[in-house]
A and B are shown apart, each in its own frame.
Chain A
Amino acid sequence: MPAPKSLFDKVWERHVVVPETAETPAVLYIDLHLVHEVTSPQAFDVLRARGLPVRRLDRTLATMDHSTPTDTAQIFGGLPIKLESAAKQVRQLEVNCAEFGVNLLGLRDDRRGIVHIIGPELGATQPGKTIVCGDSHTSTHGAFGALAFGIGTTEVGYVLATQCLLQRKPKSFAIDVTGRLPAGVTAKDLVLAIIGRIGVNGGTGHVIEYRGPAIEALSMDERMTVCNMSIEGGARAGMIAPDATTYEYLRGRPYAPAGVDWDAAVADWATLRTDDGAHFDRAISIDASSIEPMITFGTNPGMVTTVNGTVPERPGDDVFAKSLAYMGLQPGEALAEKPVQVVFIGSCTNARLSDLEAAANVLRGRKVAPGVRALIVPGSQQIKRQAEALGLAQVFQDSGAEWRESGCSMCLGMNGDLVDAGQYCVSTSNRNFEGRQGIGARTLLASPATAAAAAVRGRVTDPREFLG
């Protein structure tokens, strides 16, 4: 009897080109390399300096999302990109992709979008693949049973040149999620609760496998939200075993296998499940039925409580006190009823169609509160068109929210979409770090429903008030 293996073990073993030894890490083959404008220019320079081609153009896919504007006029309206350095970076990716022959879904391509949203949307993200990108939220793709993790620019260069990375096998971490999420509680609330439990360094050095009935019940959009934030718990990757939900999502997508190849692929993917008795270096269990809508109050995603909760007290903890001072919050203060000035619904965490539907369900027939700026940014141009066809965009515009072109937008302050100093922003993104959304910006991370509820009330609000 062969030793039982985890999903992670199986995907890892399939990609070992040269096994690791005491002296050398493994050479690990990469099936899909996603490239974007921010973390690739210096890597292409290395190829150029050493006279190297891209080894596998068929395994390399580029797009632009981080520094691109979301203002329609700057993309389709003939206006130049306002931020000069961003315009230069976008241009550099165009030049690099043309010179090396890389497939680029460029600024005006109707398949463009946030890199972690379009990989799955195009069907390029598939079970059992190794997937890397110069972006920490590459963990998103693990929702399909892929081993997907973020790398730095030097490693982007390695993968362009050799299609491989040097890696030590990480440790494994099983997170069993029992029960079912209650009505009005979302995948975002689940992953925030998990990070609150394990801490922002709880997953360091590990690959997480999320499993159990609550995970199996999630849609692919929801599974992506969970895996996306694995990195906020310190883990480079999070994985979920592929199942019928996964196959149904992928069937018919442009890069997915078709015909007899489809049947063969599904038969293979079905083997990518953790065997009974497989070893994990660490394991915890969480009861989904006890989770409530969550919101962060501090300056890392582990500083999280329920929307109806209060800011905890940690006497004598200077770092905690500094974080609260930045946030303008007091220990013991209730978060519900905290006034907000900005609401951002978007990012690789929560800008898929079902996220926009959740927000629209709250905003339909209602208005964004006076004094609140609500920015709604679809994760891809395809999602934008779908949301427009379904009437969601009209709901948003009728409510007074801004409806934009796709991109990373207000998740990080490098494309012109910014939160002003001192403002509170309820955001569906993934990081509440100091200054992440703009200098002095105060980020409260939450689900699309909670963000939409805050937009309507102008205060942090339990979205279950709007249910039914």
Chain B
Amino acid sequence: MQPITVIRSRTVVLPSSNIDTDQIIPARFLTTTVREGLGVSLFADWRYDGNGRPRPDFVLNQPQAAGCQVLVAGRNIGCGSSREHAPWALLDHGFRAVISTEIADIFRSNSLKNGLLPIVVDEETHGWLLAHPGVEVEIDLPASTLRLPDGRSSRFPIEAFARYCLTHGIDELGYLLQQQPAIADYERARGDAR
């Protein structure tokens, strides 16, 4: 995984609350056996009509969305299914961060494991971002700050361990594998050695 430090990008806004992972990537695309190539199916049922043509009124189909790496979503994005295909699809499309007031647990965990930053902000910042789509924001992961174009800056909460792994490009599996002596001790202590 590439280390993440600073992301500077314009935003795309999807104001709906409770955007579930079935919307982010519908179930019919989950028969894949690889991680790649899901970006084209991101938000498929909002993005394309019944004939597979892009709906011009959907924000991701509009020219100003091109190249945007930051998605601002309504409250409680990522609820529902545990499918990791949701962050895979967002990343494959080009997103690197998702901002909301609440982010569902499993989606948040899956996002962190893939280098998609789940950023929880307060209601006021969120309201401002929803009202100003397309603004340029700066996300500084080592400092855990989100900077708005008017210079306002706010800290966002992020698990220290996840931040360390992301800023150094380390995956958590390497850390877990280093715990194998402790895992073996645990198994032995409960009379269940391999």
Q: Are A and B interaction partners?
A: yes
Chain A residues near B (Cβ < 8 Å): 17-18, 22-25, 27, 29, 38-39, 41-42, 45-46, 50, 52, 55-56, 66-67, 83, 85-86, 88-89, 92, 134-136, 150-155, 157-158, 161-164, 166, 168, 170, 200-201, 204-205, 231-232, 234, 236, 300, 318-319, 322, 412-414, 421, 431, 433-436, 439
Find out whether the CB atom of A162 lies under 8 angstroms from the CB atom of B105. Answer: no
Determine the chain A residues whose CB is within 8 A of the CB of B104 once the complex forms. Answer: 201, 204, 234
Given A89-B31, A412-B27, A435-B22: A200 in contact with B179 (beta carbons within 8 A): no
Nearest Cβ on chain A to B1's Cβ, whole angstroms:
11
Stretch at the interface among B60-68, B133-141, B147-155, B168-176: B168-176
Q: Give the complex CA separation of A439 and B109 in angstroms.
A: 28
Determine the chain A residues whose CB is within 8 A of the CB of B183 once the complex forms. Answer: 17, 27, 29, 55, 162-164
Nearest to B171 among chain A residues (CB) is: A154
Q: Give the complex CA separation of A42 and B87 in angstroms.
A: 14
Cβ contacts B37-81/A at 8 Å (1 or 0 each): 000000001000010000000000000000000000011100111
Nearest to A138 among chain B residues (CB) is: B82
Find out whether the CB atom of A155 lies under 8 angstroms from the CB atom of B182. Answer: no
Find out whether the CB atom of B76 lies under 8 angstroms from the CB atom of A201. Answer: yes
Q: Give the complex CA separation of A56 and B27 in angstroms.
A: 30
Contact of B31 among A17, A55, A85 (CB under 8 A): A85
Find out whether the CB atom of A136 lies under 8 angstroms from the CB atom of B34. Answer: no
Determine the chain A residues whose CB is within 8 A of the CB of B32 once the complex forms. Answer: 85, 89
Find out whether the CB atom of B50 lies under 8 angstroms from the CB atom of A439. Answer: yes
Find out whether the CB atom of A414 lies under 8 angstroms from the CB atom of B82. Answer: no
Chain B residues near A (Cβ < 8 Å): 15-18, 20, 22-23, 26-28, 30-35, 45, 50, 74-76, 79-84, 102, 104-106, 109-110, 113-114, 159-161, 164, 172-173, 175-177, 179-180, 182-183, 186-187, 194
Find out whether the CB atom of A17 lies under 8 angstroms from the CB atom of B186. Answer: yes
Find out whether the CB atom of A17 lies under 8 angstroms from the CB atom of B182. Answer: yes
Determine the chain B residues whose CB is within 8 A of the CB of A46 once the complex forms. Answer: 173
Determine the chain A residues whose CB is within 8 A of the CB of B34 once the complex forms. Answer: 41-42, 45
Find out whether the CB atom of B160 lies under 8 angstroms from the CB atom of A23. Answer: yes
Nearest Cβ on chain B to A57's Cβ, whole angstroms:
10
Q: Give the complex CA separation of A18 and B182 in angstroms.
A: 7
Find out whether the CB atom of A42 lies under 8 angstroms from the CB atom of B35. Answer: yes
Q: Give the complex CA separation of A185 and B167 in angstroms.
A: 52
Nearest Cβ on chain A to B154's Cβ, whole angstroms:
20
Find out whether the CB atom of A201 lies under 8 angstroms from the CB atom of B176. Answer: no
Contact of B180 among A24, A89, A162 (CB under 8 A): A162
Nearest Cβ on chain A to B86's Cβ, whole angstroms:
9
Contact of B22 among A66, A152, A162, A434 (CB under 8 A): A434
Contact of B105 among A39, A86, A164, A205 (CB under 8 A): A205
Known A92-B33, A154-B114, A164-B176; further 7 A-B contacts with Cβ < 8 A: A17-B186, A152-B113, A154-B84, A164-B179, A201-B102, A204-B104, A318-B15
Determine the chain B residues whose CB is within 8 A of the CB of A45 once the complex forms. Answer: 34
Nearest Cβ on chain A to B168's Cβ, whole angstroms:
13
Find out whether the CB atom of B18 lies under 8 angstroms from the CB atom of A434. Answer: no
Determine the chain A residues whose CB is within 8 A of the CB of B82 once the complex forms. Answer: 39, 134-136, 150-152
Find out whether the CB atom of A38 lies under 8 angstroms from the CB atom of B30. Answer: yes
A-B pairs, top 9 by smallest CB distance, nearest first, are A85-B31, A152-B110, A152-B84, A41-B33, A150-B82, A154-B113, A136-B82, A414-B27, A412-B27
Nearest Cβ on chain A to B129's Cβ, whole angstroms:
17
Find out whether the CB atom of A319 lies under 8 angstroms from the CB atom of B172. Answer: no
The 20 listed contacts between A and B (C-beta, < 8 Å) are A17-B182, A22-B160, A24-B160, A27-B179, A42-B35, A46-B173, A88-B31, A134-B84, A136-B80, A151-B82, A154-B113, A155-B109, A158-B172, A158-B176, A166-B161, A319-B17, A413-B27, A431-B20, A431-B80, A433-B80
